[in-house]
Amino acid sequence: MIKKKNKHVEEKKALIKALIFFLLLFGGIAAVLVWAAKSEQSALAETIRKTVGIKTPEREMPAQPVTEMVVELAPVPEVVAPPEPEREPTPAPIPEISFSEVSKSRHLWPDTLELNASKQVSIRYQEREFGYMQFDEGTEIKVHALKAPVEIYASINGNFISLSVTETNFPDWFNQNYSGRYVLQSMGDSTESGEATADLSDSTTATKEKNFWNEMRLWCHTNYDSISLEIGEEQLTFRWLPKEDVPIDFQMEAREIARTYLLIRSRLGGNENYAACEIVHPTTGERLGASSIFIPRL
């Protein structure tokens, strides 16, 4: 029994060795065939392929370097817009200014002006003539003040007068001295002073006199809180003392009262163009100041 068992073991070992041999053989053949199928340069591989009938592998062409085609295009001409002509900056508009505005700006006043024309004017007060004043063209006048709407307060040889701006060379003087800074607005030859006008519908002397006193007293009361005005043969007398203890230029105030008197008289048909006024203390009679004014255009 032992011998028979050993015999079977020997047979199995021989069988296993045979199997391993055949596996190695077939494996080697397969490796050779695979090598022959892939090898492109070996003559032996070529022979094996022909014997076995394996297809010769296609040779891969070497990759050709990609040549970049450069096409030179003609340069596009640059479109250059023609230069715009240099524009001069638009100057700022010159501001306009009225005579009324100039009259409120002392630094714009002239020191002197000249008369535009020659003329001789009678001096009249209370229906009487006191001689005349001769004006020559080009006569220099000293300017004291400008007053809206069209008055220039000035003096000639010590005589204080009120002229219309159009009687002087003021427009030419202003345009020459302030050219480029201001444009002077055109001015009429109005002699209106701004006071309320009286009712002239009734032209009788009595009515004119009543209207005059009503208007003059109202003006005195509004501006001086007093109506103590007396009209004398040679001058006006105004009794007044301000309630406030403040410095007063009585000469200037007397001149303004005389001016207002002449303007109101003129609107009511009077022919006065000269008036003098004196301000006196209402209780003591002390003379506080006096002045006169001549308005040739009346």
Instruction: Please report the DSSP string for 144-196 in residue order.
Output: EEEETTTEEEEEETTEEEEEEGGGBTHHHHHHHHSTTT-EEPP-------SSP
CB 139 within 8 A of CB 115: yes
Global pTM? 0.64
Listed residue (183, 289, 170, 186) closest to 238, CA to CA: 289
Query: Both tokens of residue 146?
Result: 């400008």
Paired with 156 in beta bridges are 159
pLDDT in tens, 201-232: 456 788 888 999 999 999 999 999 999 999 99
200 or 263, greater pLDDT: 263
Beta-strand (E) ranges in the chain? 96-97, 112-114, 119-125, 128-135, 140-147, 151-156, 159-164, 183-184, 229-231, 236-239, 274-280, 287-294
Instruction: Please report the DSSP string for 57-79 in residue order.
Output: PPPPPPPPPPPPP--PPPPPPP-
Among 24-28, 132-136, 278-282, the minimum mean pLDDT is found in 24-28
pLDDT in tens, 166-177: 999 999 999 999
C-alpha to C-alpha distance for 228 and 15, rounded to whole angstroms: 167
DSSP 8-state code for residue 289: E
Q: Hey, is 19 helix, strand or coil?
A: helix
Given a cut of 90, whether residue 293 has pLDDT beyond it is yes
Given a cut of 90, whether residue 155 has pLDDT beyond it is yes
Cα atoms found within 13 Å of the Cα of residue 81, Cβ hemisphere only: 3
C-alpha to C-alpha distance for 56 and 76, rounded to whole angstroms: 57
pLDDT at 3: 53
